[in-house]
Structure 1
Amino acid sequence: MSQVWPYIPARTVNITTLVEFDRLAAEALETQMARARNWRVHRVDLQTRDSLLGTLDLADCLFIDCVFSSQGRALVEATGGLCMSSGVQLPFDISERDLYTPYELYSGIKEVPYAQVPDAQIYTYSQSKPPLKFATDDTAMATTLHDHHIGQAMINAVYDGVFANTPMIGVMGGHAVQRGTQEFADAVQLGTTLTRKGYSIVTGGGPGAMEAANAGAWLADYEPQDIVAALDILAQAPDAIRHRTMWARAAVRVREQFPSKNHSLGVPTWFYGHEPPNLFATHIAKFFTNSIREAILLEQSNGGIIVLPGAAGTVQEIFQDACENYYATGARVTPIVLVGEKHWREELPVWPLLQALAVGRAMEDRIALVDTVDEAVAFIETMTPLRRRTRF
């Protein structure tokens, strides 16, 4: 089936049996180039298939945990094919999968410290590889394949799954916003209000303003006093960086005390792995490669983007989106609203530059600067969500 990665049609052929391999090889040999396109061959015994491996063009192919004859691997690599072992040392899956859930990344968190949960183990693994080797060894292929499958899973959720019928609002903001502060409560209110109005929340999936917006979506069906009680629990463990274990366990307590049927999306990255993913995003698309993560996060915000106060990472997201809007036709401009006049005019004077870029462009009437989250929601409600790109 054709897939979108990250935005354009592509075809990946997963082969898991020798019968499938033989059938597709015969089809490829009937073409002039004898080219096997985008094959992913998983755990197939190919010891008796040297003649086929030596005849096919395998430049687009990846062979994972396959068994070869003494010459088989060399035959694959001679035409540019890649052979790799997933290896028992890999703390993550490289096969097709769904999006992560919080309890998958935090498995065991009620009994063990954060350092022992899968999210931390994967981050440690990613940091243990020397950057200069990263592009050439098998671990680079493993992380690339992981990100591919996570990207596909996210596209499936957006086009066909839980997010298919609701416009998505990207909520950006600083990871340093701590539980127990007014800024955190405001972001929770934003997530709650948007969810009640029929939008889906997508954030960078980390702590701070991102967690607050996802938590707001989670708590959207509760009364104000319940939301206050939930925030009080969270405020007992405000520090996501220095006290990750207690921070995560407080979120687990809230989830258990206030169960929810609402969905929201988080798109974090192990590139910033010191910032743990929050547990209120019910669906998590966590990537190794931050550039892919940033692009795909903005792409899914078809209902608009609301930017809470933040620092360098938030500024990057503003202007990455502004660059796309600057060159876009009117039909493809994503509305963006900044919250916090003093912050975006004086502390980080992003707004004047954003205004200057917008003059005379299709984006000019789709940017705004406001002071409250209620004003931000009101602006977004005046905008028409973008039609999603054709999937196939």
Structure 2
Amino acid sequence: MSDDGQPAPGRGYRKGPVLLRGRQIPTTTSDQRLLSGPSGGAAWLHDDPWRVMRIQSEFVEGFGALAEVGPAVSVFGSARTRPGSPEYVVATEVARRLVEAGYAVITGGGPGIMEAANRGAKEAGGVSIGLGIELPFEQGMNDWVDLGVNFRYFFARKTMFVKYSEGFIVLPGGFGTLDELFEALTLVQTHKVIEFPIVLVGRAHWQGLLDWITGPVVAAGLISPVDRELIQVVDTAEDAVRVVLERGAELRAAEEAATAQAEAAQEAADAASDEP
């Protein structure tokens, strides 16, 4: 299946580094087995510690594979989007412009918008990355991925998106896309990560969600009005990449200013300590 639960033809089922086909494909995923409660007995006492080792290996593999990709931006969107559709074309253009600006492109590695972004990155001569996930009847990595990493666990995969991305560009999508969007928003709002750019592409598609956020959600005091400013909305690939570049420049300037301030403070402290 795709990330949003749609049946999709595949090349087998990946369980970490293992490829399974036919009757070897399990009926549950690693996430299901991890999150299921004890079903009687104490077998979970023996199974869960080994799962910790698998989880650790996923982080090690992911960190090792992505550590040297350089600056990157994640592009999210529906697995259902058809080649040649307006959204597919925009995603391809977004990725091409990101590569021209010096970024690698990271997607979930599947079809639809993910394929379009990987295609745009590869055709532009950039680094095209896919972070796949273990799902029943998984569709496999799309053919435009140059660097692919498959994960058993969603939370390990999400960590890689956040750790190695300097921004998120989000095109129309379903539950999986919304999950990734709100994960990023929550991390930025709670200051768990720096305020990297989060850009929604397609104002007509996203307007209903934005009206709900700025209307009932703000009115009920569930978020602050300023939180809406964490999201930028555009209609073109050019504007999406421009927002990423402008925010990246702001963050670099702020970091350089903070570094200079810290160095000046240290020099002043050193000078004061040298005085008799």
Q: Which has the higher helix share?
A: 2
Q: 1:353 aligns with which of 208, 213, 220?
A: 213
In 1, the alpha carbon distance for the partners of 2:129 and 2:22 equals: 20
Q: How does 1:259-278 map to 2 (within 5 A)?
A: 262-271=126-135, 273-278=137-142
Change (3 A) 1:154 1:183: same
The one-letter amino acid paired with 1:312 is F
1:332 maps to what in 2? 194
Partners of 2:12 and 2:140 within 8 A in 1? no
The one-letter amino acid paired with 1:334 is F
2:155 maps to what in 1? 291
In 2, the alpha carbon distance for the partners of 1:351 and 1:339 equals: 16
In 2, the alpha carbon distance for the partners of 1:124 and 1:181 equals: 36
Change (3 A) 1:343 1:136: same
Secondary structure in 2 aligned to 1:265? strand
In 2, the alpha carbon distance for the partners of 1:123 and 1:290 equals: 24
The TM-score normalised by the length of structure 2 is 0.69
1:196 maps to what in 2? 100
In 2, the alpha carbon distance for the partners of 1:286 and 1:218 equals: 19
The one-letter amino acid paired with 2:246 is T
Secondary structure in 1 aligned to 2:141? coil
Deviating more after overlay: 186-195 vs 271-280: 271-280
Shift of 1:299: 3.1
The one-letter amino acid paired with 1:369 is V
Q: 1:344 aligns with which of 206, 212, 220?
A: 206
The one-letter amino acid paired with 2:248 is T
1:49 maps to what in 2? none
Q: 2:241 aligns with which of 363, 371, 377?
A: 377
Change (3 A) 1:128 1:316: closer
Deviations 1:60-98 (A, max 9, x none): xxxxxxxxxxxxxxxxxxxxxxxxxxxxxxxxxxxxxxx
Q: How does 1:78-227 map to 2 (within 5 A)?
A: 114-115=11-12, 119-121=19-21, 125-127=25-27, 131=33, 136=44, 144-159=52-67, 161=68, 163=69, 166-221=70-125
Change (3 A) 1:315 1:292: same
The TM-score normalised by the length of structure 1 is 0.50
Identical columns (%) = 26
Question: Is 1:315 equivalent to 2:174 in the alignment?
Answer: no
Deviations 1:352-379 (A, max 9, x none): 4179446335x83x42111112111111
The one-letter amino acid paired with 1:180 is G
Secondary structure in 2 aligned to 1:170? strand
Larger relative contact order (C-alpha < 8 A, sep ≥ 6)? 2
Shift of 1:279: 2.8
Partners of 2:13 and 2:134 within 8 A in 1? no
In 2, the alpha carbon distance for the partners of 1:299 and 1:336 equals: 15
In 1, the alpha carbon distance for the partners of 2:187 and 2:87 equals: 29
Secondary structure in 2 aligned to 1:338? strand
The one-letter amino acid paired with 1:288 is R
Q: Which has the larger radius of gyration?
A: 1
Change (3 A) 1:206 1:290: same
Aligned residues: 226
Shift of 1:199: 0.5
Q: Which sections of structure 1, spanning at least 5 residues, go unmatched?
A: 1-112, 222-261
In 2, the alpha carbon distance for the partners of 1:127 and 1:314 equals: 25
Secondary structure in 2 aligned to 1:374? helix
In 2, the alpha carbon distance for the partners of 1:293 and 1:338 equals: 21
2:262 maps to what in 1? none
Change (3 A) 1:123 1:137: farther
Secondary structure in 2 aligned to 1:267? strand
Shift of 1:314: 0.8
Shift of 1:167: 1.6
1:59 maps to what in 2? none
The one-letter amino acid paired with 1:149 is S
Partners of 1:309 and 1:339 within 8 A in 2? yes
Shift of 1:145: 3.5
Change (3 A) 1:376 1:292: same
In 1, the alpha carbon distance for the partners of 2:53 and 2:22 equals: 15
Secondary structure in 1 aligned to 2:132? coil
Deviations 1:31-86 (A, max 9, x none): xxxxxxxxxxxxxxxxxxxxxxxxxxxxxxxxxxxxxxxxxxxxxxxxxxxxxxxx
Q: How large is the Cα RMSD of the aligned pairs?
A: 3.4
Change (3 A) 1:122 1:374: farther
Secondary structure in 2 aligned to 1:279? coil
Shift of 1:278: 1.8
Change (3 A) 1:371 1:127: same
Shift of 1:123: 11
